[in-house]
């Protein structure tokens, strides 16, 4: 194994062009933004580039070997997901998959059909929905104060829309786990409800994959993920299409992937993604209970150490790696900077939202005020994060809490 993210993710080397300074070791708590390449993925990528770098569409035997290998990788991925390999399409990531699925519904759904969406979805889903559907065709699912979509809410939404004279539900879109809060959705039950209602269920599994067992995801009609969230390379992902969407196409091109997506397949990236996911499934997810204990211990001790701190969605099941922390005072950007100086990389929220105006849509949907949302930081560990890393982060948070004060410095005496 290469040095894990908890100890900087990699041995810092001075780039030869000198443009980038070496960095002190950083305890990396931003895995929901991205994870470093796993050893398994690295090896698979290099091997594929040595052995099967040819174009899978080429007519010679080397091309045929690449073609066979591509099918083999698809089957391996299908095994992990309990999915039908024929329904798996390799993509350039989760955002591409999300865009393509939503565009597909916009193209194929009848004009009176509405798309039912969880309001805490990732921006790549929300923006695709807003770009493809008029506001009156989007039905926002109610969520609990903890950000959970209940099966009952989906059932009721489906019935309420179907009861209107001209309405029907075109699809239900709910992620498996939230990127900002780690909140787990009951996607198995949601998939079952959608099956009963005969409505396609779309599940963004980006944050679930590699952290919790992927088995059963094949049950969703549509699901997708991104390799770099679980130790695979960036720029690779997959999409599981619905069984009845055999004509689905992400884009035209040279007929690759049975016409589902034009463009030469990135076989080394695909092999690395599948290697990373299998590695996570076979050697990592079984440690979930222990890692959950570490996170819970971190949270418990932190709540007693920093008065007024709160864990967002504390009452519900969340990813073992994620803590969304509502701080008692000071803007989150100041906390992030102070923690960074102390050697801890945490985030203000979704990495995507960094630098953008406005507070998190996820926290807003969960009822936090804009002022509160600006006091939230996201902590997301990796499999290499140790219990000591968690303890050190807690100590750092306690230290920073005495440095970061409200602007007007009103302290009760």
DSSP single-letter state for residue 391: H
- What is the C-alpha separation between 208 and 274, in angstroms, rounded? 15
256 scored as a contact of its own copies (CB under 8 A): yes
- Interface with its own copies in residues 116-145 (CB under 8 A): 122-124, 127-128, 130-131
Please name the residue that has the structure tokens 């009760």.
412
371 scored as a contact of its own copies (CB under 8 A): no
Cβ atoms of 68 and 202 closer than 8 Å: no
Among 80, 88, 191, 353, binds its own copies (CB under 8 A): 353
Residues 6+ apart with CB under 8 A from 232: 37, 38, 41, 226, 269, 272, 273, 275, 276, 277
Among 7, 39, 63, 144, binds its own copies (CB under 8 A): 63
Q: How far is the CB of 326 from its own copies (least distance, A)?
A: 17
- Interface with its own copies in residues 186-245 (CB under 8 A): 226, 228, 233-236
262 scored as a contact of its own copies (CB under 8 A): yes
- What is the C-alpha separation between 273 and 306, in angstroms, rounded? 40
Q: How far is the CB of 28 from its own copies (least distance, A)?
A: 7
- Interface with its own copies in residues 147-186 (CB under 8 A): none
Q: How far is the CB of 121 from its own copies (least distance, A)?
A: 12
- What is the C-alpha separation between 266 and 236, in angstroms, rounded? 8
Per-residue burial over 393-412, b if 16 or more Cβ lie within 10 Å, else e, is: bbebbeebbeebeeeeeeee
269 scored as a contact of its own copies (CB under 8 A): yes
> Catalytic positions, please?
352
User: Strand (E) positions, 4-149?
Assistant: 27-28, 88-91, 113-117, 138-140
Task: Say how many residues touch its own copies, by CB under 8 A.
Answer: 87
Using the contact rule CB under 8 A, the part of the chain among 95-103, 187-195, 277-285, 391-399 near its own copies is: 95-103
18 scored as a contact of its own copies (CB under 8 A): no
CA contacts within 13 A on the Cβ side of 337: 7
Nearest CB to its own copies, comparing residues 53 and 140: 53
Residues 71-90: x where in contact with its own copies by CB under 8 A, - otherwise, as a string: -x------------------
């Amino acid at each position: 194994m290469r040095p894990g993210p908890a100890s900087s993710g990699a041995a810092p080397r001075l780039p030869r062009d000198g443009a980038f300074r070496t960095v002190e070791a950083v305890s990396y708590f931003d895995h929901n933004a991205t994870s470093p390449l796993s050893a398994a993925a690295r090896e698979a990528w290099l091997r594929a580039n040595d052995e099967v770098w040819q174009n899978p569409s080429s007519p010679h035997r080397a091309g045929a070997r690449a073609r066979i290998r591509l099918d083999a990788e698809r089957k391996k991925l299908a095994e992990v997901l309990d999915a039908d390999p024929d329904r798996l399409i390799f993509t350039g990531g989760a955002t591409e998959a999300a865009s393509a699925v939503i565009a597909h519904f916009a193209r194929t759904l009848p004009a009176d059909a509405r798309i039912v969406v969880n309001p805490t979805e990732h921006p790549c889903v929300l923006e695709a929905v807003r770009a493809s559907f008029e506001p009156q065709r989007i039905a926002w699912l109610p969520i609990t104060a903890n950000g959970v979509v209940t099966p009952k809410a989906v059932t009721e939404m489906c019935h309420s829309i179907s009861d209107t004279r001209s309405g029907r539900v075109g699809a239900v879109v709910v992620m498996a786990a939230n990127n900002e809060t780690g909140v787990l959705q009951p996607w198995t039950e949601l998939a079952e409800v959608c099956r009963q209602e005969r409505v396609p269920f779309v599940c963004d599994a980006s944050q679930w994959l590699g952290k919790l067992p992927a088995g059963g995801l094949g049950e969703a009609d549509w699901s997708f993920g991104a390799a770099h969230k679980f130790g695979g390379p960036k720029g690779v992902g997959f999409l599981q299409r619905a069984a009845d969407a055999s004509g689905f196409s992400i884009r035209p091109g040279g007929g690759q992937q049975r016409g589902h997506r034009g463009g030469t397949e990135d076989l080394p990236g695909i092999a690395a993604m599948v290697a990373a996911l299998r590695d996570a499934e076979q050697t990592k997810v079984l440690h979930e209970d222990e890692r959950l204990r570490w996170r819970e211990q971190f949270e418990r001790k932190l709540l007693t150490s920093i008065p007024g701190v709160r864990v967002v969605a504390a009452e519900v099941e969340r990813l073992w790696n994620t803590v969304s922390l509502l701080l008692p005072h000071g803007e989150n950007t100041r906390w992030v900077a102070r923690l960074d100086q102390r050697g801890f990389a945490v985030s203000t929220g979704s990495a995507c939202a960094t630098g953008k105006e406005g507070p998190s849509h996820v926290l807003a949907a969960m009822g936090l005020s804009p002022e509160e949302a600006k006091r939230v930081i996201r902590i997301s560990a990796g499999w290499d994060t140790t219990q000591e890393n968690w303890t050190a982060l807690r100590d750092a948070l306690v230290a920073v809490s005495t440095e970061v004060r409200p602007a007007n410095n009103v302290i009760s005496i």
